[in-house]
Amino acid sequence: MAENALAQVKTTKKDAAPAAKKEAASTVAKMKGISAKRDKGAEKSQETAPQAVDKGSTKQQVTALLNVYTDQASEQDNARVSAILSFLKGVWSSIKSFFSKKEKTPTGVTSNLNKEEILAKLVELFECSDNLAEIAADGDLMHRIMTEMPDAERNSALDCLYDNVTDPQLLIEMIDLRFGVTVIDSRPETHDKLNDKARAIALKNTPIDWTAAGLIEVYKVYTFLPQSDLDLIQCLMHLDDTSVGGAAYGYSNSTTGVYYVNYRAGNEKMQEIVNPANDGKGKVSGHSDHSSDRRNNTIMMDMTTAHELGHIVDGNSGWKISGPGSSMRNVSKWQETPDDPNRVVEEMVKSISGTPYDGALTDAEFKIAKDVGAAYLAKDQNAYAGKWSAAVTELTDQTELAVEKSGDTSIDAEELADKLTDKKCNTNLLYHLWRGQGVNSSHYNHNDAMRGMNRPFHQGYANQPWFTFDLSAWNDKISCYQFRCPKEEFAETYASYHAAPAMGKKKGEMTPKGLLDWFIAEGYGDVVPESGTSEVQEEKTTKS
């Protein structure tokens, strides 16, 4: 029985082996079949599914979007756009339809895309990209952006790109297109847009070529200035002369608009990026006003670009903004004295604390001092511009003539002349007259011109009125230059308000509260939150 049982087991195992093998083989075959089907499915999927599209660089994306927007798209453009516009309604169905066609025509996708959304994405690329230099360096693409995009979107794009542009001629085109301002240089073709009046004024001087860095600075400031004011500009130019600064020219009270910005002269610290020798980023020097001035250590070119436009705005009004009787003059309590030698001397005496020379002069000598001052002012002041020694010689000669004319033998003319020309005396009438003249200084000097004065006294320009202003305004000033005359105070107020964001400040932050309140009340600026002025006051308090 045991043997039969063993034999039966052996027989069962022997019979079972082929069956198991057969079943195993069947299972393997099934698995291979499934795998084969999967492979075939994968192959089929790879054959029919579109390859992943490379969105490309920012420049390639911009080009593709522009092509689609302007109906010039290629198959690659459409594929690229589809990859970056997944949010568009129906875009994937359009792409699916596009790839399933035998004839892959770009219009199959373009016609289904929402152009407004494409345009929005295009603007978004400019605003978000950190790689704009490649676009800015492509002149052809820049011109496409300038000519093929609608105005608002184009302006947004240019505002993102201008800082990376290195071609001055392209920047000139951009400023013209963006702000409507004609910028001229040495090329005759840039003068073609000037009207006859503008050409007659502008070309009295020699316009020279701009640097890219200088034009970038102009563009930056223009983005913060009212377009209605920029519309007053006939042209902007850069002159080859020896003065430091800028100037706004007007022709009649009804039309203004030719102005220039120039920093070719002066020492190295004063030279600005409009100078070809100083081209490049980081070449904008700070303006060194008195440390208590609000515009101290700001960018001079930024301030001047806005400042000169302030003059154009003022001139366009017929100078009513800063002229006699204007509300602006009430802020700093300006008083005007005609450029009449005797009147000027009398007003200067009123502005000096105590008696001139602190009582060192007799009444007769004091009368001669006033006569000498009037005679001196009647002369051509250009001969003494910046030359105190030449003024001393003239004053000495005038003193001798006045003493001789008085017939007072008790007066020693030479001794009196020494007293009258001692500029170290705080209440020296004649030195104050010389120091305050327009030909001697373009702004009121904070170091020595105020010594012994109740009200600061200054002549704005040669052969023009003299002014006094409130001492408290001086202590709360934008700049020394503001007190050259009321015209300059308005221009400095305008610049300190509008150009502040160009230097990382809030509008109103650089403007004293009295002038800021007047500026906004008159409609030259928007309402500024209280924090706009309180921070300035707090900063000043801390400094003092």
pLDDT at 65 over 90: yes
Q: How many residues does the chain have?
A: 544
CA dist 291 and 415 (Å) reads 40
| Long-range interactions of 278-284: CB distance < 8 A, separation 24+ | 278/211, 278/213, 279/211, 279/212, 279/213, 279/214, 280/213, 281/213, 283/213, 284/213, 284/217
Judged by average pLDDT, the poorest of 23-32, 242-251, 277-286 is 23-32
Q: Quick one: DSSP state of residue 477?
A: -
pLDDT exceeds cutoff 60 at 538: no
For the chain, the domains span 58-128, 142-316, 335-468
Q: Could you tell me which residues come within 8 angstroms of residue 387 by beta carbon, excluding any fewer than 6 positions away?
A: none
Least confident of 22-31, 118-127, 411-420: 22-31
- Please give the pLDDT value at position 529: 64
pLDDT bucket at 203, cuts 50 / 70 / 90: confident
Rounded Cα–Cα distance for residues 16 and 5 (Å) = 16
Question: 468 has which bridge partners?
Answer: 335, 457
State the pLDDT at residue 41.
Answer: 47
pTM, two decimal places:
0.80
Residue 348 CA to residue 363 CA, distance in Å, equals: 17
| Residue 8 confidence (pLDDT) above 50 | no
Mean pLDDT of 62-82: 91
CB contact set of 402 (below 8 Å; sequence gap of 6+) = 368, 371, 372, 375
Residue 30 has pLDDT above 50, yes or no: no
Mean per-residue pLDDT of the chain: 80
The two structure tokens encoding residue 101: 């066609």
Paired residues of 337 in beta bridges: 466
Q: What is the mean pLDDT of residues 81-104?
A: 54
Q: Which of 226-235, 270-279, 471-480 has the highest mean pLDDT?
A: 226-235
The pLDDT-based confidence of 245 (bands split at 50, 70, 90) is: low
Average pLDDT over residues 405-412: 94
Question: Confidence band (pLDDT; 50, 70, 90) for 421?
Answer: very high
